[in-house]
């Protein structure tokens, strides 16, 4: 009789430690922060490969990288201590316009980029920090509103996109982490070609 009681007592003593080892991470995490993208303006998409016209003349926009600023939000469901499935939404914006290489005129425009992606993340969990790496796939939607009356042009387009990168979370409390940095390589495929973009973000994660 005493032996089973002793075994039960030992099991109860070690139960909290076992519970902590299996649950030292949050099953659900929400993140929101500032996002910066150095991305292609996808000029060939929005001038329809030089077919867009202004006052009867065709325009050919300069294809170049631009700076886009906005937000990044995500929901992460941790399946295990190390592996999670992340769904992310990024919205970034730019008002630099598009340069016509034929006339030298800059056409004022407001560009919006939205990345919606999902994929796995691997977390290297430590006591004070959690580095992570990820690989995601989804779509990028881009919309450009021009101030001038351009004809035969594209206003919006959606393309397949991916994201490969990682970041570092610093534990600030039981339910809050600070994402010091996250950097992703984000290739998109507008106009049947690949655009090489970089995205960086920092913010707050709620566990």
Domain residue ranges of the chain, discontinuous segments joined by + = 27-206
Q: Tens digit of pLDDT for each residue in 151-197?
A: 988 999 999 999 999 999 999 999 999 999 999 999 999 999 999 99
What is the mean predicted confidence (pLDDT) over 38-64? 95
CA 170 to chain CA centroid, Å, is 19
Q: What is the pTM of this model?
A: 0.85
Instruction: Let me know if domain 27-206 sits in CATH 2.40.160.20.
Output: yes
What is the mean predicted confidence (pLDDT) over 125-145? 96
CA distance 61 to 45: 10
172 vs 13, residue with greater confidence: 172
List the structure tokens of 150: 């351009």
């Amino acid at each position: 009789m005493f032996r089973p009681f002793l075994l039960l007592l030992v099991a109860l003593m070690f139960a909290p430690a076992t519970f902590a080892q299996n649950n030292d991470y949050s099953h659900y995490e929400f993140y929101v922060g500032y996002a910066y993208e150095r991305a292609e303006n996808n000029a060939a998409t929005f001038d329809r490969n030089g077919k867009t016209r202004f006052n009867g003349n065709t325009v050919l926009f300069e294809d170049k990288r631009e700076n886009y600023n906005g937000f990044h939000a995500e929901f992460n469901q941790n399946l295990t201590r190390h592996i999670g499935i992340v769904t992310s939404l990024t919205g970034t914006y730019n008002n630099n316009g598009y340069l016509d290489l034929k006339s030298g005129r800059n056409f004022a425009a407001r560009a919006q980029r939205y990345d919606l992606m999902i994929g796995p993340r691997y977390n290297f969990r430590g006591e004070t920090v959690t580095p992570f790496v990820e690989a995601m796939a989804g779509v990028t939607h881009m919309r450009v509103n021009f101030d001038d009356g351009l004809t035969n042009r594209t206003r919006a387009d959606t393309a397949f996109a991916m994201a490969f990168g990682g970041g570092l979370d610093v534990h600030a409390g039981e339910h809050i982490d600070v994402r010091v940095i996250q950097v992703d390589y984000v290739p998109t495929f507008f106009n049947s070609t690949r655009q090489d973009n970089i995205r960086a973000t920092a913010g707050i994660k709620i566990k």
